[in-house]
Amino acid sequence: MLRRRVAVVAALGAASLVLAACGGSSSSTPATDGTPTDSSPSASATGTLAGFELADYIKDHVASGQKLKFVYITNDLSSSYTAAQKAGVEKAVADLGVDAELQGPPTGKAEDQVSLIQTLIAQKQVDGIVVAAVNVDSLKPVIQQAFDAGIPFVSAFTDQPNSKQLAFVGADNTAFGKEEGSKLAETLQGKKGKVVAISVDTAAGWSKERMDGLKEGLGDNPDLEFVGPVNTGMEPAQMYNAIQNAMTANPDALAIASVDCCSIVGAAKWAEKEGKSGKVVVIGTDALQATLDYIKKGTIAFALSQDPVGQVFTAIEMIKDYLENGTPPETKIMPALLVDKSNVDTTTPEG
Stretch 13-18: mean pLDDT: 25
Confidence of residue 204 (pLDDT cuts 50, 70, 90): confident
Q: Do domains 2-171+308-339 and 173-305 have the same CATH topology?
A: yes
> Which helix (H) or strand (E) is 199 found in, with range?
strand 193-199
Can you give the residue ranges of every domain in the chain? 2-171+308-339, 173-305
Stretch 341-348: mean pLDDT: 91
Q: What is the mean pLDDT of the chain?
A: 85
pLDDT tens across 143-202, in order?
999 999 999 999 998 889 899 999 999 988 899 999 999 999 999 988 999 999 999 999
Q: Is the omega angle on the peptide bond into residue 229 within 30 degrees of 0, that is, cis?
A: yes
Q: Please identify, in words, the CATH class of the domain defined by 2-171+308-339.
A: alpha beta
Sheet hosting strand 193-199, strand order edge to edge: 224-231, 193-199, 255-258, 281-285, 300-305, 337-339
How far apart CA 333 and CA 315 sit, in angstroms, is: 11
Beta carbons of 304 and 180 less than 8 angstroms apart: yes
Confidence of residue 49 (pLDDT cuts 50, 70, 90): low
Which one-letter amino acid corresponds to residue 240?
Answer: Y
Handedness of CA 112, 74, 167, 322 (dihedral sign): positive
Q: Is the pLDDT of residue 72 over 70?
A: yes
Question: What's this model's pTM, rounded to 2 decimal places?
Answer: 0.70
Fold observed for domain 173-305: Rossmann fold (3.40.50)
Tally the C-alpha atoms within 13 A of residue 332's C-alpha that lie toward its C-beta.
20
